[in-house]
Structure formats: C-alpha cells, structure tokens
Structure 1
Amino acid sequence: GPVVAGESLGLEAVADVRRHGLVGPLAGGAHAHPFQQGTGCPSPGRLCLHPVHRRRRRRVRNSDSGGGSCHAAGVSSRLVLATVFLIALLIGGNFTSLKFALDHTTPLMLTAMRTVVGGTFLISFALARGEKLPRRRDDLARIFVVSLSITTLSSAFLVAGVSRVPAGVASLVASTMPLFTAVLSAILLGVGVMRMGAIGLLIGFAGTALLAAPSLSGETATLGMIAMVLSAVTWAFGTVFMKWKDFSRVTPVMLVGVQLVMSAAVLVPVALVVEGLGDTEWTTGLWLPLAYSAIPANAVTFALLATVVRRATPTQAAATAYLIPLSGVFFGWLIRGEVLGLVELAGGALVVVGVFVLVTENARRAVAAPVPAEEP
C-alpha cells in the first residue's frame, strides 16, 4: 500500500533504506544488530552506513544544507513540495473513493479487486521498463511477509474500517501508522525514541483516543475504529520488517507489484468464499472509484514517492505523513458532505500534531546523524 493501502509508504520505507543505507540509531553493546553485520561499522551504538551509501548520504546532506546553485535548488525545492502536495491529494481522495466503491460491493471483495488491478498495472509497468521479477526464495519469502502484513491484512482492515466510519475519520486514524512504527521499531529493532519523539507519540495516541471516543456509542463505528487501528498496526509491522530485511535485489515498483499479486492470490479466493459476488454491482459506480483507487491513488503515487525520496530533504519527505490526513478530511467534507464533531476535530488535530512532531524529529536526526569518514 498509497496511504489507503500501506504499500505506498512501504515503498517509501524501502527507498529510504536504499537512499540512506542503514536505519538506526541502533542499540549498543557487544552483539551487533543484524543491520550492522558486514558493514564495517566501527561503533555498534551509532548510525552506520554501508560503504556504497556513504557518498550518497553526503550528497543528501549537502542538498539539505543548501549546497549548489541557489536558483536550481529553489526550483527543485518547489517541484518537490508540489509533488508532496500532489501525493497527499491523490492519497487523501482515496478514502472518499473507497466509500463510493463500497456502495456497490463488499469490503473484502473490494480489497481483493484493488490488489488485482493495482498488481497487474504495476508489474506490467515494471516489466515494460525492463525490471526483473524476483526469483530467489529468500526474496520471495520476505516479500510475502510484507504482502501479508501490508497489502493483505492492513488493506483488508482499512477497507473494513472505511465501510463503518466517515472517510475523514478513517484518514486520520490511518495516519497513526508512523506512531506505531516508532513503537515497533523500538521493540523489535532497538531504535531509540528521543524526548521530542516520545512527546509526539503521547500527543498522537491521545488524539487517537479522542477520535475513538464518539465511536464507542455504536457497535458498527466501534468495530470500524478497531479495524482502522489494526490496519495501522499491521501496516507499521510491515514497514519495520522492510527496514529490517534486505530488499535491495528487487526494484521498489516491482516489489510492490509482486506484493499486490501475492495478496490477490490470498484475498480473491477468501472473498469469494466469505462474501461471494451476490452483493457486487458491476456498474460504473464501482469501476470508476476502483480504477482511481488502484491506479492514480496507487500506481501513480509510487512513481511520485520514488521521486520524492530521491530528491527531497527528510523534512519534505516526512510532510506526506501529516498532509494526507488533512487531505482525507477535506475530500470527505467536499465530496460526501462529512462534518466532524468537535471531539473528532480535536482528536484529529492532536494526531496530526503528534505525527508532525515525531516525523520532523526523525528527519532532524537523519540529517544530524554522524557519517563515518569515507573510505579512500
């Protein structure tokens, strides 16, 4: 998932690993973290990069600090920011498009159809560019884990949640994924959370509790909120797994395309058995939002995200995390007339602020992290 399917930010995680090398700060001590094995890391307690990434990291840092032509940097920065806003608009509108699609089909069937359309499109696009299908068993096994967590479970939970809560609320709860990612990274990878990051987590989770409060009065909305939170958690696990394991032999677009096809192989038979086709209306009311969800809000954003993570500063790239929920609320109001209550607005504001504090702190640490001296 684009935000609506975690695969889009999963792509961002893969590209981030390729761009910066290892993620960390890592836990110190005598036992090196798996990320540090074979990197020649001189200190287990500091961020260490594979040698091939050190030169790239220095270029990224130079671009963050304003090196190069001022005019060229200004134009590039404006283009990157415009791309970030376009990504937020495309993905934010996805929540509303799913609401329209769900008027004509069932949640699990819609999730399955999205994986079929999106996976077919992405793999065809990747093959047309000359990219290779993964063939190694270890690569396929790792892709399957990510597929199961992000494009299968997370997407299924998300669509189930969208069917029960307003699109704007769904986009706000989905945006808590970076919060759960920080928690799981600390638990599974030993990546520490600094003081400002911890404050961001507390603010974000307080906002999530406020968002959930109005839903506790109705069973349908309660189940929807639970599904949305489970979507964020499984999505976060997939993101952490992608930061942990090596996916460098598979290109990002091909990686996500194969994930979607693997998910389709699981979701299509399950949807046919559990829900069937009796409640699916094969009309333009289904095909148009499905096409938008699978291609502009899915495949197109992959290409845009790949551009952003290559050219943006960490702060610019992180902006997608808190612009997308705002876009989701806006389209829910503009197209479906959704109006959030004061408690939901307050909760949503806290979530956005919490995510903003967390991702900007992470971006600041990424820029400030020490870089080992370059090898001759």
Structure 2
Amino acid sequence: MATPRIDLTAAAMLLGLAAVWGGSFVFAEIALRELGPMTITLHRVGWAAPLLFVLVRLKRLALPRGWRIWGSYLVMGALNNAIPFTLIFWGQTALEGGLASILNATTAVFGAVVAGLLLRDEPLLPRKLIGAALGVLGVAVVVGADALGTLSLRNLAQLAVLAAALSYALASVWARVRLGDQPPLVNAFGMIAGSTVLMIPAALWSDGLPDLGLAPVTWAALAGLSLLSTVLAYLLYFAILRRAGAANLTLVTLLIPPFAIFLGWLVLGEALPASAWIGFAVIALGLLVTDGRAARALAARYFLHTVTKE
C-alpha cells in the first residue's frame, strides 16, 4: 500500500477545504445581522441533513440500526456540531471572524492532549505537551495581557470559541471510540441528523419560530454555511483523508485562519492587529511541534548532513 502523501490534487482539495471552512466565519457574520446563533446552527445542520442522506442512499450505504448507535450519533452531533457551531457563532457577535478562526485553530493542538489523556493508544508524549504550551501561549498573545485582569463580552466570546475547540477535540475521541466501525459518510449523516434533532428545540426556545422574511444576502450566507461549509466540506474532508491520510489532513488547521482573515477583509473590510498574526504563528508552531513530522524531517536532514561530512 502506498504511503499517503499530498499530491497536486490533494493540495488543491486541501486549499478548497480551507477556503470553505474559512468562509464559514464570513457567512456566519453576515447571517448574525438578522439571526441568533442557535437559529444559524439549525439552518447549517438542518439543510445539510437531507442532502447527506441523499448521498448516503446514492452510494448504497446501509444506515445502522439500533438505539445505541443513534445515541452515539446524538452525542457526536452535540460535540462536533451543535455545541461548537453555536459557541463560535455566539463568539462572533463580539469578535471578528478572522480572530475567531485563529482561536479555533487550537483544536488540533489541544485535541492531541485530550486524546493522550483519554485514549490508551495515543500516549501523551512530551512534544504534545510542548505543543499545547505553545498553543496556550499563542492564545495569550491573541487575547492580550490586558484581558487577564478584566471580564468583558469580548473576553467571554474568546472563551466561547476556545470552548468550541475543546468540544471538537472531545468529538474526535468520541468518534474513535464509538463510531470507528461505520462508513465515514454514514457517520457524517448520523451526527448531522443528531445535531438537527438537538437544535430544533434549542433554536425554538432561544429565538422562537423561524423568520422566513430574511434578506437575500442572509439566505445566501445560510446556503453557503450549509451547502459549502458543511456538505461540500465533508465530501472534501473524506476525499483528502482517503488520498493523503489523517496526518496530512491536519494541515488544514493552519490554512483556515489565513482564508478566514482574507475573506473577512475582502467581504467585510475587517482587519486584525499584528498581535493576532503573532499569536497565530505561535499556535501554528504548536501544531507543528505536536505533529512531530517537521522535527523528524529536520533531525533526519541533520543526520544525513553529518554522515555526508564524515
């Protein structure tokens, strides 16, 4: 079996995935002008569920039976969709989308620590702890030292996005433990269906009956969130996973913030301070340390250079 690698096609898909996930932060900011965070989450998962169901049927995949597996999908839908989407959208009521995307980039770094604590086959290696420390340092740079002594709406919004990153990390562990024997597309439909079931009463309680008299730009943003940043994103995600492997797929974490920041500037005229870029660089370094491949490549290069000299 060939070693998974990033070829030209995988690289293009990786950039496409980063673009549609980065675009979700812009779509959300537009939709937040008329809708509450829970209703936006409901639109995002509610539109995606029937489309993913159609894809499952077209591929002739069997849907699992039994309350146990669908209960697992309900938990997965909460951890990977309902909770983090809502927290991020609420956070964006007080944060720029680009800044929210930078804070959300801690998912991969902290996810490695969560897996190390909860999974026996994922040891908590020193590089993961160093990566997590760099992630925390990067967050501190992004948030700013002045935020440590105050409690404002903006600070709470930043904490909400970080809580969403933790929820994503827990979701990855849950998927490993409870859903590893199911086809990926079936898992995608199952968790989206589960999150839709959860978000219907939550959105009705929070925002009441949905308003259908929305501005065209709001409908377009909702369509982008669901069709591009959810359905298309899952298709790209699984295609990259098959072609390039899980390790290479984590690189998308580094690519999402630049796309979110660029699109936020292009569409909404947003600009972030230099501290946000510096913090992102530290978080990115934390991800590279956690991943370990860059360090191994440098070590191998140094060893080869030393042997050649001798």
> Is the 1:104–1:280 Cα contact (8 Å) retained in structure 2?
no
Query: Secondary structure, in 3 states, of the residue corresponding to 2:251?
Result: helix
Query: Secondary structure, in 3 states, of the residue corresponding to 1:192?
Result: coil
The match for 1:129 among 55, 59, 79 is 59
Who is 1:170 aligned against?
A: 100
Q: Which stretches in structure 1 are left out of the alignment for 5+ residues? A: 1-58, 65-75, 366-376
> Is the 2:288–2:294 Cα contact (8 Å) retained in structure 1?
no
Inter-CA distance 364–234: structure 2 relative to 1 (3 Å threshold): farther
Q: d(CA) in 2 for partners of 1:214 and 1:279? A: 41
The farther-off stretch of 101-110 and 266-275 is 266-275
Question: Over aligned residue pairs, what C-alpha RMSD do you find?
Answer: 2.4
Q: d(CA) in 2 for partners of 1:247 and 1:278? A: 36
2:178 maps to 1:252: no
Inter-CA distance 280–359: structure 2 relative to 1 (3 Å threshold): farther
Q: Which residues in structure 2 correspond to 1:183-332 (within 5 Å)?
A: 183-190=113-120, 191-213=122-144, 216=147, 219-248=152-181, 250-277=182-209, 281-313=213-245, 315-332=247-264
> Partner letter of residue 173 of structure 1?
L
Query: How many correspondences in the alignment?
Result: 294
> Partner letter of residue 118 of structure 1?
A
Inter-CA distance 163–362: structure 2 relative to 1 (3 Å threshold): farther
Q: d(CA) in 1 for partners of 2:221 and 2:275? A: 30
Q: d(CA) in 2 for partners of 1:349 and 1:356? A: 11
Q: Which stretches in structure 2 are left out of the alignment for 5+ residues? A: 298-310
Q: d(CA) in 2 for partners of 1:247 and 1:150? A: 15
Who is 1:141 aligned against?
A: 71
Inter-CA distance 362–346: structure 2 relative to 1 (3 Å threshold): closer
Deviations 1:278-318 (A, max 9, x none): 87752212210111110111111211111111111555322
Q: d(CA) in 2 for partners of 1:192 and 1:319? A: 21
Cα offset for 1:324?
Answer: 1.2
Deviations 1:199-237 (A, max 9, x none): 222211100122222783672211211110110111110
TM-score, length of structure 2 as denominator length? 0.87
Cα offset for 1:116?
Answer: 0.5
Q: d(CA) in 2 for partners of 1:335 and 1:362? A: 34
Inter-CA distance 333–243: structure 2 relative to 1 (3 Å threshold): same
> Is the 2:44–2:222 Cα contact (8 Å) retained in structure 1?
yes
Cα offset for 1:350?
Answer: 1.1
Who is 2:269 aligned against?
A: 337
Who is 2:289 aligned against?
A: 357
The farther-off stretch of 329-338 and 233-242 is 329-338
The farther-off stretch of 304-313 and 223-232 is 304-313
2:94 maps to 1:161: no
Q: d(CA) in 2 for partners of 1:117 and 1:364? A: 43
Inter-CA distance 319–154: structure 2 relative to 1 (3 Å threshold): same
TM-score, length of structure 1 as denominator length? 0.72
Q: Which has the higher helix share?
A: 2
> Is the 1:114–1:294 Cα contact (8 Å) retained in structure 2?
yes
Cα offset for 1:141?
Answer: 2.1
Cα offset for 1:173?
Answer: 0.8
